[in-house]
Amino acid sequence: MMAKLKPEDLSRIAEKMRRQTLLREGAGRAKVTVHMGTCGISAGARKIMTTLLGLIDQQQVQDVILTTSGCAGLCSREPMMTVEIKDKAPVKYVDLDEKKTLTIFTDHVLGGEIVTDFALGMGSERVS
């Protein structure tokens, strides 16, 4: 059972999470996010996730954070994933399949080269 929070605990958790998840603070070298809303899953996002899990396991990759999140908004281009290499802008990949995922994992996640053929764009969305 976790302790009940006090208001000041929120910033402590936020700080801890930022340290853990923000690559520039040293948690990992790359972060791969597979967008798994209902729309993404129906377009095949689970296969992308399984492929990535397999690759990480098979190649004993230690410094890549693999995570999921909800829909990225562009249903017509799913499945989608975002690859973020330490100190670089995040890159969104669209219309994925297993083969493309393998290429992106090898070239971009491990090799640091953006796979321009499959990339939609880089940077982040405007948040108010």
Partner 1 sequence: MIVQPEGIFYQMLTVENIPNLVEEHLVKGRPVDKLMYVPSKGKPPIPKLSDIAFFSKQRLVVLKNRGLIDPEKIDEYIARDGYQALAKALTSMDSEQVIEQVKGSGLRGRGGAGFSTGLKWELTRKSSGNGKYIICNADEGDPGAFMDRSIIESDPHSVLEGMVIGAYAIGAAEGCIYIREEYPLATKRLHIAIDQAREYGLLGEDILGSGFSFDITVHRGAGAFVCGEETSLIGSLQGQTPEPRIRPPFPAQSGLWGKPTNINNVETWANIPTIINRGAEWFASIGTESSKGTKVFSVVGKVNNTGLVEVPMGMTMREIVFDIGGGIPGGKKFKAVQTGGPSGGCIPESLVDLPIDYERLMEVGSIMGSGGLIVMDEETCMVDVARYFLDFLRSESCGKCTTCREGIAAMHDIVADICNGKGEPENIGLLEELAEAIKDASLCALGGTAPNPVLSTLRYFRDEYDAHIKDKKCPAGVCRALISYRIDPEKCKGCMLCGKHCPEKAIGGEPKGPQTIDLEKCIKCGVCRESCKFEAVLIE
**Binding region for partner 1 (CB under 8 A):** 1-7, 10, 13-14, 16-18, 21, 33, 35, 37-39, 41, 67-77, 82, 88-92, 113-114, 116, 119-128
Least separation in angstroms between CB 78 and partner 1: 9
Distance CA 11, CA 39 (A): 33
Least separation in angstroms between CB 90 and partner 1: 8
Kindly tell me which of 14 and 53 has the beta carbon lying closer to partner 1.
14
**Closest by Cα among 72, 74, 61, 6 to 30:** 61
Least separation in angstroms between CB 50 and partner 1: 17
**């930022």: which residue's tokens?**
18
Q: Read off the DSSP letter of residue 110.
A: I
Distance CA 87, CA 20 (A): 15
DSSP 21-33: H-GGGTS-SEEEE
Kindly tell me which of 61 and 122 has the beta carbon lying closer to partner 1.
122
Return the structure tokens found at 41.
Answer: 């899953």
Kindly tell me which of 45 and 55 has the beta carbon lying closer to partner 1.
45
Kindly tell me which of 3 and 58 has the beta carbon lying closer to partner 1.
3
